[in-house]
Structure 1
């Protein structure tokens, strides 16, 4: 899978120290001019559906599980591997100084109707919900959140906004056009 970017969070001053290593799988799902994202009320931002890859789990298997849980998606089809983002950011736990996250992005198609999402308790507490939204509107919204830089802003918004912009710039690609019509 191609490397799209290596992102270093602006608050991170070094990559030295105790590193928490994580892998995640995230879905790019588009249909009729809209993209399926997660809106999180606590952070007031949009993010791609997906999440952590468990020990011994393949990224595509994690993606299927996460899309179904977070969005209620059914008949999930992975159409293509889109790329990887390597991310370094501060870690808020007392056991680590920073997190090194590798996010595997996949272009997916799903059935038109979403079922019931099965959010984890922390996702429910954060007010996370799946939404179909215009891609440019999601980018503008996240940029405004970044501009305000209020205290509730999450750390992942930098990665999510970068990838939303990347997908928008790549909108003419065959893979993304095929996915939008699937």
Structure 2
């Protein structure tokens, strides 16, 4: 899979510190200029649906499971690799210093009707919900959050980069 970008958090000065890799799959689901995203009230941002790949799963199985759980999507088809995004972030627990986050992004199609999502308790507590939104509006919203919010999460830069690349390469 092609590498889209590698980023290192500004607080990391030594990549030889103890680290582990966390892998995630993320879905790109488009209908014209509308894209299926997750809005998270806590961070006031839009992100691609997806999340961690379990130890027993392939990237594709993780993608399908996460997309179903977070959005209620079903009949997920035409899955194609879009690219991977790598991040080196500070880790917040004592066992490691750095997490190497690798997000595998895939385009796919789904049925128009979304079923009820099966969000985890922390996702519900953060005010996460799936929504269809114009991709240009989502980018503008995230850029505003980056510029003006003190509650933004660490992933917003990744998500905004990916949204802009999706526009450049996939939105006609």
TM-score range, shorter chain: over 0.9
Aligned pairs (5 A) from 1:26-105: 26-105=26-105
- What is the rounded CA distance, in whole Å, between the counterparts of 1:10 and 1:35 in structure 2? 30
Give the Cα–Cα distance (whole angstroms) in 1 for the partners of residues 10 and 137 of structure 2. 24
Inter-partner Cα distance in structure 2 for 1:169 and 1:8:
24
- How many residues align? The count is 172
**8 A Cα contact 1:78 1:106, kept in partner:** no
Partner of 2:164: 165
* Structure 1 residue 21, shift from structure 2 partner: 1.0
Contact 1:9 1:158 in 2 (8 A): no
Does the 8 A contact of 1:46 with 1:142 survive in 2? yes
For the structure 1 residues 162 and 78, does the alpha-carbon distance in structure 2 shift closer, same or farther, using more than 3 Å as the test?
A: same
Whole-Å separation in 1 of the counterparts to 2:51 and 2:167:
22
Separation in structure 1 between the aligned mates of residue 10 and residue 164 of structure 2, nearest angstrom: 18
Give the 5 Å matches for 1:141-152.
141-150=141-150, 152=151
Gaps of 5+ in 1: 178-182
Aligned-pair RMSD on alpha carbons?
1.4
For residue 29 of structure 2, give the secondary structure of its aligned residue in structure 1.
strand
Q: Distance in 2 between matches of 1:80 and 1:104?
A: 11
Q: Do the aligned partners of 1:3 and 1:83 also contact (CA within 8 Å) in 2?
A: yes
- State which drifts further: 108-117 or 153-162: 153-162
CA–CA distance in 1 between the matches of 2:9 and 2:149? 13
Alpha-carbon distance, 1:80 to partner: 1.1
**Greater displacement, 112-121 / 81-90:** 81-90
SS at 2:158 equivalent: helix
Q: Distance in 2 between matches of 1:158 and 1:12?
A: 16
- Structure 1 residue 111 displacement after superposition: 0.1
Distance 1:139 1:14 in 2: 32
Q: SS of 2:118's equivalent? A: coil
The whole-number CA distance in structure 2 between the counterparts of 1:156 and 1:47 is 8
Partner of residue 180, structure 1: none
1:138 aligns with 2:144: no
**3-state SS in 2 of match to 1:170:** helix
